[in-house]
Amino acid sequence: MENNNDELLKTVTAKAQVWLGEGYDEATRKEVQAMLDDEDPTLLIESFYKDLEFGTGGLRGIMGAGSNRMNIYTVGAATQGLANYLKEAFKDLPEISVVVGHDVRNNSRRFAEIVANIFSANGIKAYLFDSFRPTPELSFAIRHLGCQSGVNITASHNPKEYNGYKAYWEDGAQIIAPHDTNIIDHVNRIKGVESIRFDGDKSKIQIIGRDIDEAFLKAIKGLQLSPEAVEKNKDMKIVYTPIHGTGVHLIPESLRNYGFENIIHVPEQDITSGDFPTVASPNPENPPAMAMAIAKAKEVGADLVMASDPDADRIGCVMRDANGEYVLLNGNQIVMILLNYIMTRNAELGRLTGKEYIVKTIVTTETIKSIADKNNITMYDCYTGFKWIAAVIRDNEGTNRYLGGGEESYGFLAEDFCRDKDAVSAISLMAEAAAWAKEKGMDFLTMLQNIYMTYGYSHEEGISVVRTGKSGAEEIQAMMKSFRENPQKELAGSPVVTIKDYEALTCRNVLDGTIEKMDMPTTSNVLQYFTADGTKVSIRPSGTEPKIKFYIEVHGKLESAADYDKANADALAKIELIKKHLGIA
């Protein structure tokens, strides 16, 4: 073992010494030298033990010097590889163009300007946003401007140490096959800093901003389904926080466009900052990130509390429970409320023709399928990530009408003029759904209870087990291997009847041993257990963070609203049992 450690240290030291060369700037050389001089080699190893991989979602990592870090050189190599592939894929076009955007994170503007410079140095026109913007607006801009690709510098809701690089194709969606592997191949061919063309051509860079904002907001306004309900409830008190992120301007403006006049801010969190000073983690699915907004709601007696994450693609929402307390909706509940609202309103307005469809991911609640089936609306299941929802939209373009799609991780997309999850439209429609419900004497709690009584009760919980660094990555691999080779036989007293393995694309009937092949666009490292009583457990390593994720969904019946608290308590007790069976309690 000691020899292995010596070899690893020898390898990373050699890699680090390359970064002391003249091709790297002085700040980088100093940072690398400090790592080499440190008696504790931990940081050196973590920074250089591998190259930060350009995966199918782009790059994401901790910022700093090193081959396994987000910095101008790893960003530069990714952009040079993407530029080389674009010139190959669109060689017959007189001009190739891209959109470059970024969030509020530290170094995001710097990285975005470097990306634009590298594209321009390669003869590619770069539309660069004048400042930070929501991720979905970049997707919209690619389509709106007729570009071939786009890059957004963002690490979404990750902690402040992280940044990321998302690559998009000409349809405005994140990249899938065959372009993903082709781009990765071109990025991997960039072997040295000397291959990266950093010197930009200013004539090839065009700054964009308010013109795209206005077009994007106008398109979102076109999604409105209940203007009369909004007019009657325009003074509804809505607390909104961007959690220091990119939603700070556009989301309140979109709410006003919809007709809402009483938008209450959380001033401390309107300050855009990559340090996210008021929260430990800028993730609206975590209760502490919503604490200031809830406090403001209690102060003013708000009807609705909503948030967006730093790049404004995920939505957080708080409802009042039966005791008047503010409680977070989970991601599944947000998607259920929005899809149920959109489907119901389309039916009420006579807009259903039989060609409508919705989309959810395989780890999102199966209750959504029950809603779609009973309303005779087609539902598609796809892999986690909005690039897969976008792929379904692309496959149905021109023949069927997209009503909406979402995933349990607080993402929703109500439109097809954008191809990534969008908190701007989701928050606007969530507020409208609340106004519509109010007209019918309901709130989000009664809406949820009605859904559960009509379509079946479900409760979901996501658990993330974090394992950082090289040893953590190996432990996550070992856990997945163990769950495959030693499958669960029962969960909370109910026998496992079906096992779906998306890496092998097999669906195994445990009762009779038969195996069917699943029809999916590619393989994915996801394992699912289904039990006789409807429980679903999904297990997958995160593609963007050092964690393995468990998604637990249990089912039951809700006969009346009076039984809601008991149903929740029973479900939570069952989930705790399942967690013990899985060894993650």
Q: What is the pLDDT of residues 51-63, one digit of tens each?
A: 998 877 789 999 9
Whether 156 is catalytic is yes
Q: How confident is the model at residue 321 (pLDDT cuts 50, 70, 90)?
A: confident
Integer angstrom CA distances of residue 466 from 56, 469, 546 = 21, 10, 6
Structure tokens at 513: 């041993």
Only one residue has tokens 């495959």, namely: 484
Q: Decide if 456 contacts 369 (C-beta within 8 A).
A: no
**Helix, strand, coil in percent for the chain, rounding step 5:** 40, 20, 35
Read off the pLDDT of each residue in 431-456 and give the average, rounded to a whole number.
Answer: 95
CATH 3.40.120.10 segments of the chain: 50-208, 216-455
Rounded Cα distance between 104 and 154, Å, is: 8
Which one is catalytic: 156, 308, 425, 458? 156
The CATH code that applies to domain 457-582 is 3.30.310
Residue 476 is predicted with a pLDDT of 92
Say what the pTM is.
Answer: 0.94
The whole-number average pLDDT for the span 300-318 is 96
Cis bond leading into 546, ω under 30°? Answer: no
The CA-to-CA distance between both ends of the chain, in Å, stands at: 32
State which amino acid sits at residue 557. Answer: K
Question: Homologous superfamily of 50-208 in CATH?
Answer: Alpha-D-Glucose-1,6-Bisphosphate, subunit A, domain 3 (3.40.120.10)
Give the tokens for residue 159.
Answer: 């902690």
pLDDT recorded at residue 4: 64
Q: What is the mean pLDDT of residues 230-244?
A: 98
- Domain(s) labelled CATH 3.30.310 in the chain stretch across 457-582
In sequence order, what are the beta bridge partners of 402? 357
Compute the average pLDDT of residues 377-400.
96
Q: Describe the strand order of the beta sheet including 411-413 as a list of residue ranges.
A: 378-382, 356-361, 401-407, 411-413
Contact 401, 453 (CB under 8 A): no
Pairing of strands 326-328, 315-320: antiparallel
Both tokens of 539, joined, read 């297990």
- The architecture in CATH of the region 216-455 reads 3-Layer(aba) Sandwich (3.40)
| DSSP per residue, 452-492 | HHHH-EEEEEEEEEE--HHHHHHHHHHHHHHHHHS--SEET
Residue found by looking up tokens 């007209």 in the block: 439
